[in-house]
Amino acid sequence: MERILKKFFELTANPYGSLAEWKEKNKKKVIGCYPMQLPEEIIHAAGMLPVIIWRSNEPVTMGHAHIAPFNCGLTRSFVDDAVKGKLSFLDGVVFYRMCLQAQSLPFIIERNACPSYMEYLYLPALYPGASIRDYLIEEFERLKKSLEEFGGQEITVQSLNRSISVYNRNRRLLAEVYALRREKPGLIKGREMQAIVNSSMLMPKEEHNRLLEELIPELKKRSPADQKVRVVIYGGLCQTVQPEVLDLIESLGMVIVDDDMYVGSRYFANEVEASEKPVESLANRYLKKLPPCPTKGDWETDWTDYVIEIVKRNKAQGVITMLVKFCPPHLCYYPDLKRKFAEHGIPEVLIELEHEVISLEQTRTRLQSFIEIIGGV
């Protein structure tokens, strides 16, 4: 078990070296996918390795000349990595119009890093009506065609369904790990859980599946740490949270029973149905309204209700908001989330996450006050 977790930690701490090595060894193309909704299965079926774009561990330096300092950490860090040449091993990048900040990236990357392959999709908001679905399918078909041209390999119904099945297997295994944590809170540390999901974004799913199949029986033999106060964390759109923050939550006597984070349960939510029209099945997954995504512009489904349901289902005593600094989709939603948590009597605390500097002392103080409030609930 320790060997597998170590592998996950090493990969997530240094994806650059591991991916460049993988590419050299396997002679396959590696394609960066901008989070959070791209159909990785199409890239996989084209015989390439899709990886989800990550936030580096370095402060932004050269990137400052290309992107505004009030952009979120992921966009700044990604541009910084690109202009420093750290991403030159990527054969291509796929973006889509997700939020204002992500929208400007393709232009910056094209001008300064110029990968051999770049695609920009216009994935729609979830407005009602069949035309949205038709349009989405067309966009996915366009991606499929351009990958076929770039890779010189046809993506057949069979190959796409095979990829879907590998990805579904990964989703099921990750869901199993999450079920274990819900059953025995404290069994898996917050930083371990994040590395488990994050590594799935950065390695071939076949290998990740094999590792999870080995890991799960070992995790079951573990004894959960003795923690008292049950909390749910949510937010963290597009990027990882500093593991130190997760450690801090646990060191103060709280246990994370469940989450609604992107590098968490959102990543593996919803399987794709195998069918004779796999592109349509991928579109159907995108169009699912749960988990609600504040970048999808759906006014019928309420994100707060979804988080409240997770809190209640897990008998959690409080909820911790992980808000990525300068993330408008989450920021705009936050007042409503906060108001509804209060209406339901759910204690909530806001932790703002910044890419470079995070004052752990300030975070500690906030969390200490929070646990004082909920400890007696």
Candidate list 74, 160, 245, 323; residue touching ligand SF4; CB under 6 A: 74
What are the tokens at 3? 């060997």
Candidate list 202, 327, 346, 358; residue touching ligand SF4; CB under 6 A: 327
CA proximity to 51, closest of 82, 77, 26, 16 = 16
337, β-bridge pairs? none
* Residues binding ligand SF4: number (CB under 6 A): 15
By CB under 6 A, residue 329 contacts ligand SF4: yes
Q: How many CB atoms lie within 10 A of CB 34?
A: 24
Please list the alpha-helical segments (H only) found in 184-272: 190-200, 205-221, 243-251, 267-268
Output the smallest distance, CB 66 to ligand SF4, in A.
Answer: 16
Region of 247-255, 271-279, 301-309, 323-331 interacting with ligand SF4 (CB under 6 A): 323-331
By CB under 6 A, residue 82 contacts ligand SF4: no
By CB under 6 A, residue 102 contacts ligand SF4: yes
* 60/84 Cα distance (integer angstroms): 10
Region of 106-114, 123-131, 236-244, 349-357 interacting with ligand SF4 (CB under 6 A): 236-244
C-beta separation of 233 from 349 below 8 A: no
By CB under 6 A, residue 101 contacts ligand SF4: yes
Give whichever of 105 and 374 is closer to ligand SF4, judged by the CB atom.
105
* 278/258 Cα distance (integer angstroms): 31
Candidate list 237, 256, 261, 337; residue touching ligand SF4; CB under 6 A: 237
Cα torsion for 116, 262, 360, 11, to the nearest 10°? -50
Output the smallest distance, CB 23 to ligand SF4, in A.
Answer: 25
What are the tokens at 118? 């770049």
C-beta separation of 94 from 31 below 8 A: yes
By CB under 6 A, residue 353 contacts ligand SF4: no
By CB under 6 A, residue 170 contacts ligand SF4: no
Q: How many CB atoms lie within 10 A of CB 269?
A: 15
In eight-state DSSP terms, residue 236 is -
By CB under 6 A, residue 261 contacts ligand SF4: no
Q: How many CB atoms lie within 10 A of CB 142?
A: 13
Candidate list 211, 324, 351, 371; residue touching ligand SF4; CB under 6 A: 324
By CB under 6 A, residue 56 contacts ligand SF4: no
Give whichever of 106 and 151 is closer to ligand SF4, judged by the CB atom.
106
List residues near ligand SF4 by CB under 6 A. Answer: 72, 74-75, 98-99, 101-102, 237-239, 295, 324, 327-329
